[in-house]
Amino acid sequence: MNVHEWAQQFAVQLKAVPLLEWIGVGFGVAEVLLARANKIALYPCGIIAVIISTYIFFNAGLYAESALNLYYFIMSVYGWWFWLKRKHHAAPAISRSTKQDWTITIVIVVTAFVLLYTVLINFTDSTVPLADAWVSATAWAGMWLLAKRKIENWILLNISNAFAIPLLLYKELPLYAALTLFLFVIAIFGYIDWNKTLKQQTHAPAVE
């Protein structure tokens, strides 16, 4: 399929996108923009987005992606709580991952991938178990790092995004593929913004 044919197919798929998918994607866009700006409102927007996306991905046969969104829900609630408990202070400080953080991150990726892949090939009718499991496992780790305010969350999330885009196109979810491409670009700028904030924090007095 050449570029013109692909563009035509994408346009046809886009016209068939239901309203619920537009709403889910809209809240997803709001979440990532708020995350880049380091605003607490990212969490309620994220919760709405994942509830809708869980339903859409399950119906599309992306079972690991659906489970991933349930995980997003849990981590969004945790991240919201983690921020609110510091409501009398500044926003939780951004930091770099320690060796322990990286160890936990690797454990999350490996454990989630093996578990998801095993479940997908043995208990579902998934046609893309390998890709579905990998996209979800790397995103699980990225979301954990985001909840902990670790700058490396953008790296893990973009590894997931890079593999998710062709997967979503294959599953005829063009709007979510476009959203994921948007998230990929925003994550790059998110990393740059957080890195600037991190440098500023090193020159500011600690807040207890």
Lowest mean pLDDT among 81-90, 170-179, 189-198: 81-90
In whole angstroms, what is the distance from residue 163 CA to residue 157 CA? 10
- pLDDT higher than threshold 90 for residue 104: yes
Share of the chain above pLDDT 90, in %: 44
| Structure tokens that stand for 65 in this block | 């992606």
Asked if residue 2 is part of any domain, the answer here is no
For residue range 135-185, list pLDDT tens digits in order. Answer: 999 998 998 898 788 999 999 999 999 999 999 988 888 888 888 998 899
Check residue 8 and give its pLDDT. Answer: 67
Check residue 98 and give its pLDDT. Answer: 95
Structure pTM? Answer: 0.77
Asked if residue 24 is part of any domain, the answer here is yes
The full length of the chain comes to 208
State which residues form the domain around 196.
18-84+97-201
Asked if residue 23 is part of any domain, the answer here is yes
Cβ atoms of residues 146 and 107 within 8 Å: no
Mean pLDDT of 181-206: 83
Asked if residue 90 is part of any domain, the answer here is no
- pLDDT higher than threshold 90 for residue 201: no
Residue 19: band (very low, low, confident or very high) from pLDDT cuts 50, 70, 90: confident
Q: What is the number of domains present in the chain?
A: 1
Which residue carries 């919201």 as its tokens?
A: 80
In whole angstroms, what is the distance from residue 172 CA to residue 184 CA? 19
Asked if residue 5 is part of any domain, the answer here is no
Asked if residue 11 is part of any domain, the answer here is no
Residue 207: band (very low, low, confident or very high) from pLDDT cuts 50, 70, 90: very low
In whole angstroms, what is the distance from residue 13 CA to residue 17 CA? 7
Asked if residue 12 is part of any domain, the answer here is no
Distances in whole angstroms, Cα of residue 85 to Cα of each of 7, 89, 117, 127, 201: 47, 9, 36, 43, 20
Asked if residue 126 is part of any domain, the answer here is yes
Point out which residues pair with 150 in neighbouring strands: 95
